[in-house]
Structure 1
Amino acid sequence: MMALIEFERLLKQAMGLSAATIGEVTLERALQERQQACGLPDLQAYWDRLQSSTAELQELIEALVVPETWFFRHGEAFSALVEVARKGTLRTVPGTPLRLLSLPCATGEEPYSMAMALLDAGFSAGQFHIDAVDISQRALGKARAACYGKHSFRSRDLGFRERYFEATGHGYRLIEPVRRLVQFRQGNLFSPLSFPQAASYELIFCRNLLIYFDRPTQEQAIAVLGQLLAPHGLLFVGHAETSLLTSQGFVPAQLSRAFAFHKAERTEQPPWPAPARTTRAAPAKPLLPPPPRQAAASRPASPPPSRPVPSPGLPRQAETELDAASRLADQGQFAAAARLCLAHLDTHGPSARVFHLLGLVNDASGDAAEAASFYRKALYLDPEHGEALIHLALLLEKQGHMDSAQRLHARARRLKSRTGG
């Protein structure tokens, strides 16, 4: 029987995807569906088809990348976009249009939200330009059609729908003047052909993409994003990706509840890098139901007063449970992620990893006090938990506790220097 690892290697080469992030069951299901759709007897025959058909490889990618997005998802990021755009400090050349990039753009809700946010803030169409890139041809087809059903409208305030959409028999269609503001293309983060010549963007939204890569690919992706980012630009990422940016030399911007970063060194834009090994972009985000609007998870019973001795490693079952909780958090299902974490605590007891994850969940849900409490618990169990150090420092910065935040950043830098991480 054809080994699954061969398909995993092919997908890693084609799109950067680390199969571990989606799970073997998901991959096996997609392979079986495509094998049957091609009328082939077994996986070996399907493997042979993949080797000779770029069209079928694209079909397999389409089966794996199901976008999960909606208009003004995590609205704080769009408020921050408007805030920094109004200041006028991002442009490399004063007076030129602001350049924005959405990657992956999925079915278009994110880049169209960028456009509507800027229009509502008083910007004219000639004052900004938006590029939107995704690997999925199907998603881009839906984005260009710009006709959306109720699942694309999940924010509390739907006033934008009245201003910018026309009701149809199948949902709501974005009006043509707004559609013209976004330029869609199928592309790849790792190929210069995906972007205009010498592209340089003042604002890049690349949220919850890096989580689907392994560490070497993450570092490669961040390097390319840094070269696409203008000298004074901002890069927006998902909440679970913040430590990746800080570990690669990016500096957090002081924007409330928006995970935005700028370059540590404000130098001239470097030339376009040599093409990387991979030739396709990473997948859009997996399809999951929207997170229920619930209060942030309450903390479990306090840990014992004496510091537990960290175990050499959690049982594999416990690791799998936390992996699932982490994926739910990355996809915005904070209440579900918190429930898994609390169940894990009941079964396996306290650990730095589960407390750190609960900190992330509460942080993203807006409960800063509870988030800080969980980050501190993680550091109580593991004083050298680098991500907990950084996330607690970022949280304290947002609250104005600069001295405490600087001390934590210093600890994180010493840890990185000592471990080489």
Structure 2
Amino acid sequence: MIYPDGEALLRKKIGLDPNSIGSDAISRAFEQRMIECGIRNINSYLEKIQESPQEWDALIDSLIIPETWFFRERESFKYLQQYVISEWLTNHKNTVLRVLSVPCSTGEEPYSIAIALLEAGLKPTDFHIDAIDISKKSLLTAQTAIYYPYSFRGNPLSFQERYFQHQEIGYHLSEKVKNQVHFLHGNLAKTDFLMGTPAYDIVFCRNLLIYFDIVTKEQTVKLFERLLNPEGLLFVGHAEAGLLVNSRFASIRHALAFAYRKSTVTKSPINFHDRQNNKKNSSPNGQKRIINRNYQPKTKLQTQLIAIHNNHLSENTKNDLLTTSRKLADQGHLTEAIELCNNYIKQNRVSVEGYVLLGQLQQAMGKNEDSLQSFQKAIYLQPTHKEALTHLALLKENQGDIINANLLWQRIQRLNNNL
């Protein structure tokens, strides 16, 4: 059953676009909480969450599952260190670097920022990190700062040895790092979010915009403009690069970092109305969290792959391949996600969306040549696809092909001017 009033309430309170996760997922969350509360009528439950902050928190936690690990999308942290070493330390002596991580989930991202800054040469008194999330449950985990192997995938053992103490229950983060991060509860979708707070030099907000409705997207981009100092850096997720193409932020063009600065050139007002498909392209690396769709990756993956290899796919299964591929990517199963995406493309050879997702997955796996080909195929099918053009331009720059990269940036600019 679909609950339109419930969806409307989520849109109003947290800016959620119901289409980004699907009405079925939202309905399951409502029904789960109604069972827990012993309530059968949706109107009665809606009244309860309006009156009970505790039940509202429980509903949020049933919709949102933290999905993050230390130094996820590592190039962002590498560029952060490069910026601090080459620019910040030189031009901002006797100044405290202010950093915002939102949403901060269970803490892996803000703690990664703290470690990156310490290793870049900053002293603990040189920087301040605010970490904000809408989930009180996630914040409690973050403040406890005890982690398990799943949070360290992709990192060398020396990383754990330097900053964590392995105890009987998990890995305990060192107090030196833990004390650098100040956790706060907050809702980014509120118009008065951090109103009156001094501006930040760095903002990490990765893979959240794709879940917002149009109004909240626009509101959040304007919020970033307010929160950031003139020379500040904004880090977003992989899938959100396309959302900022026509904003007042300019890419710093560091491959796979997806960092932006306020543009010195006034551009036309941001318009998300022509970019609705972008919200479906969930980034395999940029997201801090995934939305609970009651997905069981191993069980469903095994079922899907058996069907694929036996060539007994139903039409519904074919249509679900891209959705399943994105879910697997969000869970960190990139190899399996690529396999499903390739099988989708075999049956949908003119799917721009399929080639863009495949390119993102290949890029996340470090297969840049394969990624180039995928984005080129997407552009061949749709020459005006800004997200594919942006990814391709960044890859060309990373390879040192500045001439062709500049041609792509000029092409993107012409598209912007024609809006």
Is the CA contact 2:255–2:397 (under 8 Å) kept in the aligned structure 1? no
Go from structure 1 to structure 2 and tell me whether the alpha carbon gap of 1:78 and 1:290 turns closer, same or farther (over 3 Å shift): farther
Deviations 1:178-235 (A, max 9, x none): 2111010001224476537332121111111111113332222122112212111111
- 2:157: which partner in 1? 158
Report the Cα distance in structure 2 between the residues aligned to 1:211 and 1:336, rounded to whole angstroms.
23
- 2:391: which partner in 1? 391
Q: How does 1:62-73 map to 2 (within 5 A)?
A: 62-73=61-72
- 1:189: which partner in 2? 188
18-27 vs 123-132, greater mean Cα deviation: 18-27
Query: How far is the alpha carbon of 1:415 from its aligned partner?
Result: 2.5
TM-score (norm 1): 0.82
Go from structure 1 to structure 2 and tell me whether the alpha carbon gap of 1:4 and 1:26 turns closer, same or farther (over 3 Å shift): same
Is the CA contact 2:84–2:120 (under 8 Å) kept in the aligned structure 1? no
Query: How far is the alpha carbon of 1:345 from its aligned partner?
Result: 1.7
Go from structure 1 to structure 2 and tell me whether the alpha carbon gap of 1:49 and 1:283 turns closer, same or farther (over 3 Å shift): farther
Is the CA contact 1:239–1:330 (under 8 Å) kept in the aligned structure 2? no
Please identify which structure carries the higher helix content: 2
Deviations 1:104-135 (A, max 9, x none): 10111111111112222332101111110000
Report the Cα distance in structure 1 between the residues aligned to 2:408 and 2:363, rounded to whole angstroms.
17
Query: How far is the alpha carbon of 1:290 from its aligned partner?
Result: 10
- 1:357: which partner in 2? 357
The 3-state SS of whatever aligns with 1:130 is strand
- 1:378: which partner in 2? 378
Go from structure 1 to structure 2 and tell me whether the alpha carbon gap of 1:386 and 1:20 turns closer, same or farther (over 3 Å shift): same
Deviations 1:126-146 (A, max 9, x none): 111111000000111111111
Q: How does 1:4-403 map to 2 (within 5 A)?
A: 4-89=3-88, 94-191=93-190, 194-195=193-194, 197-265=196-264, 284-286=289-291, 321-329=321-329, 332-403=332-403
Report the Cα distance in structure 2 between the residues aligned to 1:395 and 1:96, rounded to whole angstroms.
35
Deviations 1:266-319 (A, max 9, x none): 89xxxxxxxxxxxxxx9943478999xxxxxxxxxxxxxxxxxxxxxxx99866
Query: How far is the alpha carbon of 1:402 from its aligned partner?
Result: 2.1
- 1:294: which partner in 2? none
Count of aligned positions: 381
Go from structure 1 to structure 2 and tell me whether the alpha carbon gap of 1:192 and 1:161 turns closer, same or farther (over 3 Å shift): farther
- RMSD of equivalent CA atoms: 2.8
Structure 1 gap ranges (5+): 268-281, 292-314
Is the CA contact 1:97–1:127 (under 8 Å) kept in the aligned structure 2? yes
Is the CA contact 1:318–1:348 (under 8 Å) kept in the aligned structure 2? no
TM-score (norm 2): 0.83
3-12 vs 408-417, greater mean Cα deviation: 408-417
Go from structure 1 to structure 2 and tell me whether the alpha carbon gap of 1:61 and 1:172 turns closer, same or farther (over 3 Å shift): same
Is the CA contact 2:111–2:177 (under 8 Å) kept in the aligned structure 1? yes
Query: How far is the alpha carbon of 1:18 from its aligned partner?
Result: 1.5
Report the Cα distance in structure 2 between the residues aligned to 1:64 and 1:91, rounded to whole angstroms.
44
Deviations 1:43-88 (A, max 9, x none): 3332232333333222211211111111122222212111111123
The 3-state SS of whatever aligns with 1:285 is strand
Go from structure 1 to structure 2 and tell me whether the alpha carbon gap of 1:283 and 1:176 turns closer, same or farther (over 3 Å shift): closer
Report the Cα distance in structure 2 between the residues aligned to 1:323 and 1:41, rounded to whole angstroms.
31
Deviations 1:4-38 (A, max 9, x none): 12111111111111222222332222111110111
Identity of aligned residues (%): 40
Structure 2 gap ranges (5+): 267-286, 299-314
Deviations 1:341-399 (A, max 9, x none): 21112223332221222122222222221111111111212222222222212221222
202-211 vs 167-176, greater mean Cα deviation: 167-176
Is the CA contact 2:77–2:116 (under 8 Å) kept in the aligned structure 1? yes
The 3-state SS of whatever aligns with 1:371 is helix
Go from structure 1 to structure 2 and tell me whether the alpha carbon gap of 1:396 and 1:316 turns closer, same or farther (over 3 Å shift): farther
**What is the identity, as a one-letter code, of the residue corresponding to 1:285?**
I
Go from structure 1 to structure 2 and tell me whether the alpha carbon gap of 1:91 and 1:197 turns closer, same or farther (over 3 Å shift): farther
Query: How far is the alpha carbon of 1:247 from its aligned partner?
Result: 2.1
Report the Cα distance in structure 2 between the residues aligned to 1:228 and 1:266, rounded to whole angstroms.
19
**What is the identity, as a one-letter code, of the residue corresponding to 1:106?**
S
